[in-house]
Each structure stands twice: as C-alpha cells, then as structure tokens.
Chain A
Amino acid sequence: MGKRRGFLLAATALAALVQTAQAADKLTIGFMTTLSGPGAVIGVELRDGMLIAMDHLNKKVGGLPTSVIVEDDQQKPDVARQLVNKFQKSDRIDVAAGFSFSNLMLAVYGPLTQAGTVTISSNPGPSQIAGKECSPYFFSTSWQGDSWAEAMGAYLQKKGVQNIYLIAPNYAAGKDVLTGFKRFYKGSVAGEVYTPLSQLDFSAELAQIRATNPSAVFAFFPGGLGIQFVKQYSQAGLKDKFTLYTSYTIDNTTLPAIGEDAVGLINTTFWNAGADNPVTKKFVADFQAKFGRPPAEYAAQAYDTIMLLDSAVKAVNGKIEDKPAFLAAIRKADFKSVRGAFRFNSNGFPIQDYFQGRVVKGEDGKPTIRIEDIALKDHGDAYASECGLK
C-alpha cells in the first residue's frame, strides 16, 4: 500500500511537471452555462457574450492560443458537479468560467476552489461566496446578488419616496432581494407580499395593491415571472397609478416579450449599454451584428470575464502556471470593461457603479432601457467585511 501510494505520488508529481512545462503554450477555459431548459435564456446570453470576446481577441486570450470548452449544465446541480470533474480530470482546464444560476455556482464552488482552480463567475453572486466562504481563487465579473436591489433602495431613499409596496416570489432570492432593498430604503412600507414561485396569474395581488393605494410598487420577478407580472400590472391599469420600480426583472431578454406594457418602468442595473465609451460601443455593435439582437447584461458580464483573463495572462507573459502571480494579475483588473471603471473588492467581487434606468420607446418604436442616473457610486457589497481575504 505504502509503495503504491509513493508511486502514485511520484506519477502525479511527474505529470504536474510535464504539465507545467507545456502550460504556457496554450490556455484552456472550461465554460459552464445553461443551454437547455427554462434557464437557457440566460445561458445562451452568457455564451454569446463570451463568443464576441473570443472574436475580438482572435481566439487568443493574452496571446495564448485558447480553447473554450462550452458545456451545458442543464440547470442541474448534479450535472454541474460532473462537468467540473470532467473539466479538472479530463479537459485539464486552466480556468473555469461562465456559470448561470447561484444554486449551481454553490454546488461547484467547493470542488473548484479547494482544488485551486481559478474560477470566474460571469453571473451568479451568492452571499455565501461573497462573505464567509470567500476564496482567493474566485472572482466575479458580475455583481453580488443583493446589489441591484440595494441600488433601487438607495435611489428611492434619495428620492424620498414613502409608503412603497413590495412584492417578490416566495423563495430564497426573493427574500434576499427585498432584504437588500431595505438595507438602503428606510421609508415606510405599505405592504410586503411573497407569491408562490409557480404562480402565473397575479390578478389577486394586483387588486390588493389597488386597494392598498401605495405611492409606488417595487417588484422583483426574474425571467418569465417578470414578463407575466409586468404585462398583468399594465393590463390591470396600475402602471399609470403607481409607478413600478423593479430589479432583475426587465432586461433585453425579457423586454421584447413584454413590449409596450413595460414603457415607464424604472429599473436598476450595473451596466449602461448606451454609454459613450468605445469598448461598450464596439461590444454592443458587434453583438447586434453577429446575433441580430441587442445584448443583455449577462452577455456583457461574460465578455468582461474573457477580457479580464486576457489582461491577466498578458501581465504574467503567459506563465499562468505561476498561480500566485496569475491570481495577483487578475485581482488588478487591469482591463477595459464594458461598464467603464472596474476594480475588485477584497472578496473578488467588483466595486462598481449601479445605475437607475427607465424603459422608454426607442427610435425604432421598440421599448428600450435608457440610463438616467447613478443610483449607487463605487458600491461594494455588504458581505465583503465577513470575508477574511485582504
């Protein structure tokens, strides 16, 4: 037994040596995302944003020939675990990136960071990872999950809105988002309602809102739920009576399905797609040209993931096997983000601006989000203080 273990150790060490010698001539990225099932809307957006970045870099991230292995996690945590195993054991990836949903991120976070795999989340930012369980191997080019709602809370606090009605689905993220909102909003609350996650029809809740007569409504309904809620809100004639403020509810993936009913809504986001910034402009134009639709936030986040890697690989001259140097180079975030200024907090999450936007009719008559104001400037998340990293 002892002998065999010794042999295995020697073989592993040898393999590591061989790998080290080869590592610098290519880069392999394992890109996990959701391409089937209801979550595919987000997953496809992430993949397409990544593809634009690879186009812009001529498939050479930081000068190294790069292969991106795209895998579909089917929005299932067990599949995600198996994929990470494949990434590490068979594909021998250098970096794991992508990720669509926070429950999947949490399922693979341990196996990835404990094995020392450099991990960059292009989307989910669960509070656990931002706080106590933070890791030096983990970075996010998106946001911590509470941040958009915190921005909306701050915006409404600044506006001095009182007597607001809160509504969200009855699951973990629904509670987190309203908690994040109330972290910055200190005004009075007219009602706080949680609806079942599978609910399709909101007419009962909408009638209660009308009867409560609040001054405004803040809603969090991601994906298809948001389409249903916003349409029914407008059809019930509430839109003109009580301004609807939302977070994570309308973006370029859901806006076309909501149509005119969304016009007049206020939202918060971290990204100004219309920013007067050459990087943003090029990204938006090339995405529109390649896929025939405007990019949503998810695409921008995945684009930044690749661009961040590009800067770090360049900074270490392709010597990515020198992990401490590579991680330090990532942490510098010395790249041109599509959102303008970008820097990392101690927990690997961005410190960035959050904007307040309004849905308006665009020049082509289709509804579009116009950024009006900065809701939170240089905002880091509330959990970074719980993270032991510096």
Chain B
Amino acid sequence: MSAGTVLLVEQSLNGLQFGIMLFLMAAGLTLVFGVMNVVNLAHGSLYMVGAYLCASVFAASGSFLLGVSTGIAGATLVGILFEVTVFRRIYDGDHLDHVLATFGLTLICNEVVRMIWGPTALFAAVPQGLAGQVQLMPGLSYPAYRLAIIVVGLMVAGLLYVLVNRTRLGMVIRASASNRTMAAALGVNDVVLYTIVFGLGAALAGLSGLMAAPVFAVTPGMGDNVLILSFVVVVIGGIGSVRGAFLAALLIGFVDTFGRAFLRPLLASLFAGNVADNAAPAMASLLIYALMAVVLFFRPQGLFPPRTR
C-alpha cells in the first residue's frame, strides 16, 4: 500500500467524519426549518448545552453513558422550554422576527453558561474505551473516537430515515411540512407536533454537541461556528429535507477536507514561488461557500428539496 493511497483513504475518512458531525447538527435544524418554517439561530445553544452537560456529568460521575443521557435530556428540555416560551409566539411572524428572537436566545444562553461554568473552557474527556487508535490497514491508524462518531452518525441517519418515512409520526411530520394548514384541517394537532419536532431537533443538537465535546473546545459560544456551517448544509441540501441534509453534509465534509488537504500541493505544482502558501488557505476556506453559491445559482431550492405540492 503506497503512502499516497493511505493518505487518500485517511483524508476520505476525515471528510466522512466531518460531514457526519455536520449532519447531526443540520438534521435538527432542517427538521425545525422544514416543519415550522422557523429560522432557529438558537440551535447552536442547544449544541452547547448538550456538550456542557455531558462533559460536566461525565467528569463528576465517571460514567460516559450517564453524561450522554443527561446531555441529550438536558438539551431536549431546554429546547422544549424555548418552544413553549418563545417560539410558539413567533411562528406567525416573518423570518426577521425569528432571527431577532433566536439570536437573543443565543446571547442569553452564552452568558448563562458563562455564569454557571465560567469563561474558561471545560475539560471534556474521551471515554476510556474509545481513547487511542485503531489500525485500519497497514500504515493507517485512525482515532477510535472519530470512528465512533462515524458509526453513531450513520445510525442516527438510519433511525431518522425510518422515523420520517416509515412511522406514523414521520408521516404527520411530512404532511405538516408540505402543507401545514391542510394537515391541521385533517386533524393533526400541530401544537403538540411542533413541540415534539422541536424537542427532537434539540435532542439531535445536544447529541452532536456532546459528541463534538472531546474533539473541539467546550467554551461559551462554541455552537456559533458550527451553526454557520450547518446552515450551509441545510441550504445546499434543500430546506426541510433530512435526506438532503445528509448528502449535503457529506459533500461539504469532503469538499472542505480535500480542499484543505490537497489545494496547496496542487497550487504549488502549478505555480512557482509562494503563490500556493498565500492563495491556498484563502481558497480552501472559500470553497464551501463557493459551492453553496453555485448550487443556489443552478438549483435555488437546494439539491434534494422535500416534495411539496
């Protein structure tokens, strides 16, 4: 196995893993966006709540499972609290109202987290069994925790697929997403449905935050960076489509990883001097936004928009 192939496989794994991390975050966002037509900037706060709760409960109790369940439950509860107290009142408003209210929630959450846990970053450990490397093939060992992220992400994607396409709740969600008024007229209790969907979105955000905690920094405002990328995923995938979010997340993961990894060597082989050193970082960070612009130009509804009529 040549070193070049090993590098290619490793970078593909990196792209897959980054994509899946984005998918976990974007799935909840796209559900809420699709069903309720709400721009939820506070999604990043739920991600942060999941990360903080899991990291501190894991550190205090020594049990990762307990940390995970607290993280998901806590994020869900906070999400439902948001829905009942704030969102319910602004569903009828336009997107600017949503952005204002949810941006306000983000600021409040960041400061509350700072008051409780302090401004310094929290330590989030990798669970014992997942520390270290796994030898995948000769010359390639990959962090076990990142493999676990890939597995969990694929499982969540599968479960969501079954939930949305094969269950009664999923049918109601799809119906409500394509025509809210008609679904309500046919007897769907949209008040309860909205709370359930919002809770589900919050649980996914919490899960994605706590999975990210040992890899990223657990700090106040940690969700804000991820949120921007998740919106890119949602928009490219088609707003409201979980399948679209999955494929778009993988696409972004691969494009971003390969851009960062191979753009510089590529430019260096094409141009003389330090052109590559100067241009590559700027181009690599632009790549996903350029991709978004191209997708929106040719398919304004996104790559895989949900079917509506």
- Which residue numbers of A lie inside 8 Å of B, CB to CB? 36-38, 40-41, 43-44, 170, 192-196, 198-201, 203-205, 207-208, 210-211, 224-225, 227-228, 231-232, 235-237, 253-254, 256-259
Contact = CB atoms under 8 A, between A and B. Distances in A.
Contacts of B285: 170, 196, 198-199
B114 A235 contact: no
B218 interface: yes
A235 B11 contact: no
Contacts of A227: 121, 216-217, 219
A200 B226 contact: yes
B120 A203 contact: no
B207 interface: no
Given A36-B114, A204-B257, A195 B281 contact: yes
Contacts of A192: 277
A254 B225 contact: no
Given A196-B285, A236-B143, A256-B120, A201 B21 contact: yes
B123 A257 contact: yes
Contacts of A43: 119
27 contacts: A170-B282, A170-B285, A193-B281, A196-B284, A200-B225, A201-B215, A203-B257, A205-B261, A207-B14, A208-B7, A208-B261, A224-B219, A227-B216, A227-B217, A227-B219, A228-B215, A228-B216, A232-B215, A237-B133, A237-B141, A253-B120, A253-B121, A256-B121, A257-B121, A257-B123, A257-B217, A257-B218
A13 B204 CA distance: 66
Nearest to B55: A257
A196 B284 CA distance: 8
A203 B217 contact: no
Contact of B14 (A37, A196, A203, A259): A203
Secondary structure of the A side of the interface? helix
Interface string B1-42: 001000100110011011001000000000000000000000
A194 B14 CA distance: 19
Nearest to A199: B285
Given A204-B14, A232-B215, A40 B284 contact: no
Query: Lowest 4 CB-CB distances: which A-B pairs, in order?
Result: A257-B121, A196-B285, A227-B217, A40-B119
Given A225-B217, A235-B126, A254-B121, 16 more contacts: A37-B221, A38-B219, A38-B220, A40-B220, A170-B285, A194-B277, A196-B281, A198-B285, A203-B18, A204-B11, A224-B219, A227-B216, A235-B145, A253-B121, A257-B123, A259-B125
B123 A256 contact: yes
B174 interface: no
A204 B277 contact: no
B45 to A, nearest CB: 14
B146 interface: yes
B18 A201 contact: yes
A265 B269 CA distance: 34
Given A38-B219, A196-B281, A257-B121, A211 B14 contact: no
Contacts, number: 112
B262 to A, nearest CB: 9
A205 B264 CA distance: 11
A22 B258 CA distance: 67
Nearest to B145: A235
Contacts of B219: 38, 41, 224, 227, 257
Nearest to B144: A235
B111 interface: yes
B271 to A, nearest CB: 16
Contact of A224 (B11, B121, B143, B264): B121
B188 interface: no
B122 interface: yes
A309 B143 CA distance: 51
B170 interface: no
B180 interface: no
A235 B281 CA distance: 24
A130 B225 CA distance: 34
Nearest to B258: A204
Contact of B122 (A196, A205, A207, A257): A257
Contacts of A237: 133, 141, 143
A211 B277 contact: no
Contacts of A254: 120-121
Contacts of A225: 217
A66 to B, nearest CB: 26
Contacts of B216: 200-201, 227-228
Contact of A259 (B123, B143, B212, B260): B123
Given A170-B285, A256-B120, A231 B215 contact: yes
Contact of B214 (A194, A231, A256): A231
A194 B215 CA distance: 20
Contact of A228 (B3, B217, B281): B217
A96 B122 CA distance: 32
Contacts of A259: 123, 125
